[in-house]
């Protein structure tokens, strides 16, 4: 009597794992939620829980808003200091334009981030957080643009008198 030929397909039966499922390392950004066995096979279906991610648009909005405030304060200083020599409105106006552009960008990015955060968490989508960061970016962008425009108005009034 001869033995059947040895083939890699005639290996030992699959080992079933009946203990707790293995857990992913915490730095991976996801955790194993549960493992469902696929009947009749040695395989399983893993369901993962993805950790929420802070929205990059919200962070960018806050950074641009803070930058708009800093540039608008600089524009205010140039408008006030250079008004006596006559160059304050020109230099301050250039910085005001920069602060208004940065503030407008911060407001736009913050609004898009809030929309992204509101829509996240649906099936098949990554869950985003950072609603407060997005709101802070919108506020800082608006304040920066407002201070810049007030500084330009101050420079023009001081230069006229």
Q: Contact, 143 vs 108, CB < 8 A?
A: no
Sign of CA dihedral 4, 9, 11, 12: negative
Domain residue limits at 62: 53-160
Ranges of the chain whose pLDDT falls below 70: 1-30, 123-124
Residue 60 and residue 117 in one domain = yes
Same domain membership, residue 62 and residue 124 = yes
**Alpha helices for 2-130 (secondary structure H):** 56-81, 88-119
Q: Are residue 64 and residue 140 in the same domain, yes or no?
A: yes
Supply the pLDDT for residue 21.
Answer: 60
What pLDDT is stored for residue 11 in this prediction? 54
Q: How many domains does the chain have?
A: 2
pLDDT of residue 41: 85
pLDDT at 63: 97
- What pLDDT shows up at residue 38? 86
Q: Which two tokens stand for residue 104?
A: 């407008």
**pTM value?**
0.69
Check whether residue 41 and residue 89 sit in a common domain: no
Percent of the chain that is helix, strand, coil (3-state, to 5)? 60, 10, 30
Please indicate, yes or no, whether residues 46 and 84 belong to a single structural domain of this protein. Answer: no
In this structure, the answer to whether residues 80 and 22 fall within a common structural domain is no
Same domain, 155 and 129: yes
Q: What is the pLDDT of residue 161?
A: 72
In a domain, 2, yes or no: no
Angle between helices 56-81 and 88-119 (to 10 degrees): 160
- Kindly state whether residues 69 and 131 are assigned to the same domain: yes
Shared-domain flag, residues 37 and 78: no
CA nearest neighbour of 42 among 16, 4, 3: 16
């Amino acid at each position: 009597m001869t033995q059947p030929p040895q083939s890699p397909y005639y290996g030992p039966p699959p080992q079933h794992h009946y203990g707790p499922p293995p857990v992913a390392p915490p730095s991976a950004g996801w955790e194993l939620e549960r493992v469902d066995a696929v009947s009749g096979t040695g395989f399983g279906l893993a369901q993962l829980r993805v950790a929420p991610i802070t929205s990059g648009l919200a962070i960018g909005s806050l950074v641009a808003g803070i930058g708009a405030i800093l540039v608008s304060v600089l524009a205010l200083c140039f408008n006030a200091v250079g008004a006596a020599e006559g160059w304050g409105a020109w230099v301050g106006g250039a910085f005001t334009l920069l602060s208004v552009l940065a503030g407008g960008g911060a407001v736009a990015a913050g609004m898009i981030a809030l929309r992204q955060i509101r829509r996240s968490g649906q099936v098949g989508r990554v869950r985003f957080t950072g609603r407060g960061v997005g709101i802070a970016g919108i506020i800082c962008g608006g304040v920066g643009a407002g201070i810049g425009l007030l500084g330009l108005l101050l420079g023009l009034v001081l230069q006229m008198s």
